[in-house]
Amino acid sequence: MSSSSSSIQGKDNTTTNVSAVPETHDGSEPLRDISGDVIEDGLRRGLKGRQFVIIALGSIIGPGCFYGLGYGIYEAGPLGLLIGFSVVGASMWILMQSVGEVATLFPVHGGFVEHCDRFVDPALSFAVSWLYYFMWSVFLASDWNNATVFLQFWIPETAVPVWAWYILIFVFFSILTTMGVNFYGEIEYYFGMFKFLSLIVLFFISILANVGAFGNGYVGFRYWKEPYGPIQNGVNGFGQVFVMAAAYYVGTEIVSVAAGESKNPQRDVPRATNSILYRILVVFIGMSFFQGLICPSTSDDLVHPGSKTASSPFTIGFTLAGWKSSAHFVNAIILIAFVSAANGVVYIQSRTLYSLALKRKAPSFFAITTARGVPYVAILFSNMWGFLGLMSLQTTAGSLFSYFTSFGGTAAYIAWAVITFVQLRGFTVFETPFNYQSFIASYISIPVFLLMFVGYKWWFKTKWVPLDSIDFSGRLVRSIEEEDNIKKRSWARKALEVLKD
Three-state DSSP class for 171?
helix
φ/ψ region of 42 (left if φ > 0, alpha if ψ in -120 to 50, else beta) reads left
Q: Which of 172, 186, 227, 180 is nearest to 371 (CA)?
A: 180
Q: What is the pLDDT of residue 305?
A: 72
CATH architecture of 3-425: Up-down Bundle (1.20)
In whole angstroms, give the CA distance from residue 329 to residue 66: 12
Rg of the Cα atoms in the chain: 25
pLDDT of amino acid 328: 93
* 80/69 Cα distance (integer angstroms): 12
Cβ-Cβ contacts under 8 Å for 75 (sequence gap 6 or more): 232, 233, 236, 237, 240, 241, 244, 304
For 9, list phi and psi in degrees, rounded to 5. Answer: -95, 125
Q: Tell me the C-alpha distance between 70 and 242, whole Å.
A: 14
Cα(174)–Cα(380) distance, integer angstroms: 6
* Residue whose C-alpha is closest to residue 210's, from 297, 71, 323, 298: 323
- Helix spans in 279-396 (H): 286-294, 313-321, 326-358, 376-383
Enumerate residues 6+ apart whose C-beta is below 8 A from 426.
439, 442, 443
Which of these, 283, 258, 288, 293, lies nearest to 272 by C-alpha position?
258
Q: Is 451 exposed, middle or buried (CB count within 10 Å of its CB: 0-12, 13-18, 19+)?
A: exposed
The alpha-helical segments, DSSP class H, found in 36-119 are 49-58, 63, 69-105, 112-119
Burial class (CB in 10 A: 0-12, 13-18, 19+), 3: middle
**Collapsing DSSP states into helix, strand and coil, what is residue 39?**
strand
**Mean pLDDT per 10-residue interval, the chain, length 501 residues:** 36 38 49 57 66 75 82 89 91 84 78 78 85 89 88 88 94 91 83 89 95 92 86 81 84 76 79 84 91 91 76 92 92 90 88 87 89 87 93 79 82 84 69 66 71 83 72 46 52 48 43
Full-model pTM: 0.76
DSSP 375-400: -HHHHHHHHGGGGGGGGGGTS-HHHH
| Largest pairwise CA distance in the chain | 82
Q: What is the DSSP letter of 161?
A: -
Beta-carbon contacts of 374 under 8 Å, excluding residues fewer than 6 positions away, are 178, 179, 180, 181
Q: Are 66 and 312 in contact (CB under 8 A)?
A: yes
The crossing angle, in degrees rounded to 10, of helices 69-105 and 397-424 is 30
Q: Where are the domains of the chain?
A: 3-425
Cα angle: 294, vertex 298, 300; to 5 degrees: 100
Asked whether 77 and 228 are in contact (CB, 8 A), the reply is yes
Is the distance from CB of 16 to CB of 10 less than 8 angstroms? yes
β-pair partners for 22: 3
**CB-based contact 276:93 (threshold 8 Å):** yes
Q: Say what the pLDDT of residue 5 is.
A: 37
